[in-house]
Amino acid sequence: MSDKPEKLITDDGLRLDGRHADEIRPMKIEIGVLSRADGSCYLEWGRNKVLVGVFGPREAHPRRSQRADTAVIRYKYNMASFSVEDRARPGPSRRSIEISKVSREAFEPVIMAELFPKTAIDIFVEVLQADAGTRTAAINASSIALADAGIPMKGLVTSCAFGKVDGQIVLDLNKEEDNHGEADFPVAMTQDGEITLLQMDGNLTPDEIRKGFELAKKGCKEILEIQQAVLRKKFETPVEEPEAGV
């Protein structure tokens, strides 16, 4: 781990990467990048790079995993060994199993799984480069990949963390802030603002949590706009103007 810088927030109130407390890192999304997946997305968020492939609904195997009344949703978060500074050990870890579980649960309220009994919907996440906030980046990318796969959903899910750095509540922590900050609080929500993921690492007072939530809502709103723009660009068919006199 790098040494803690003297200050993570400078005297003019900016963070070390030049952001204000309420700013998210720049986000770039590409949709439909994997030809063998039913839906896919590549997302860069600051220095995070994640790739998501969605498969299904398809017959669930093994058969005993099938449910007669609904599709089973499976979410697999994997961190490539080269994605972090110190090589990540390949294969599942306690951390990746936990992230997979909470991320799957973040989507369960929106995916209309009951329409596809006996099937599975698989969401595979590969983190190619990590700089804190990979679970939130992966959820944002998965939302797009699910939409790209045509999976019926009640809406998109967006995700963003807030935390405490040098005693200040800030949005979307980068690695340095995550390592040396006092708290990290990832949140995911539906388009209607229903919370579907909530985790806390560190300590915050109720007032700090309230303040952080306001930031997270703002961040998620901005991300939703980026997601919607990407989906509109891919799926919206331009309405043809009728020719004059027809």
Task: Give whichever of 38 and 178 is closer to ligand UDP, judged by the CB atom.
Answer: 178
Could you tell me which stretch among 64-72, 111-119, 125-133, 214-222 binds ligand UDP (CB under 6 A)?
A: 125-133
Could you say which DSSP state residue 34 is in? -
User: Is residue 132 near ligand UDP by the rule CB under 6 A?
Assistant: yes
25 CB burial (10 A radius; 0-12, 13-18, 19+): buried
CB of 127 to ligand UDP, least distance (A): 8
Q: Which of 135, 145, 151, 215 binds ligand UDP (CB under 6 A)?
A: 135
Spatial contact of 162 and 169, defined as CB atoms under 8 Å apart: yes
Instruction: Single out the residue of 227, 236, 224, 212 nearest to residue 28, CA to CA.
Output: 227
CB of 92 to ligand UDP, least distance (A): 12
CB of 196 to ligand UDP, least distance (A): 15
User: Is residue 141 near ligand UDP by the rule CB under 6 A?
Assistant: no
Could you tell me which stretch among 61-69, 117-125, 133-141, 217-225 binds ligand UDP (CB under 6 A)?
A: 133-141
Tell me how far CA of residue 243 lies from CA of 105, 237, 239, 240, 246, in angstroms. Answer: 49, 18, 12, 9, 6
CB of 87 to ligand UDP, least distance (A): 9
Instruction: Single out the residue of 222, 215, 212, 53 nearest to residue 138, CA to CA.
Output: 53
User: Is residue 134 near ligand UDP by the rule CB under 6 A?
Assistant: yes
CB of 64 to ligand UDP, least distance (A): 32
Task: Give whichever of 20 and 95 is closer to ligand UDP, judged by the CB atom.
Answer: 95
Q: Hey, what long-range contacts does 59-65 have (CB within 8 A, 24 or more apart)? A: 59/118, 59/119, 59/120, 60/118, 60/119, 60/120, 61/120, 65/120
The b-or-e profile of 134-156 (16+ CB within 10 A means b, else e) is bbbbbbbbbbbbbbbbebebeeb
Helices (H), the chain: 94-107, 134-148, 175-180, 206-235
Task: Give whichever of 153 and 160 is closer to ligand UDP, judged by the CB atom.
Answer: 160
CB of 115 to ligand UDP, least distance (A): 30
User: Is residue 133 near ligand UDP by the rule CB under 6 A?
Assistant: yes
User: Is residue 183 near ligand UDP by the rule CB under 6 A?
Assistant: no
User: Is residue 131 near ligand UDP by the rule CB under 6 A?
Assistant: yes
User: Is residue 178 near ligand UDP by the rule CB under 6 A?
Assistant: yes
Positions in the binding site for ligand UDP (CB under 6 A):
84-85, 88, 95, 130-135, 175, 178, 184
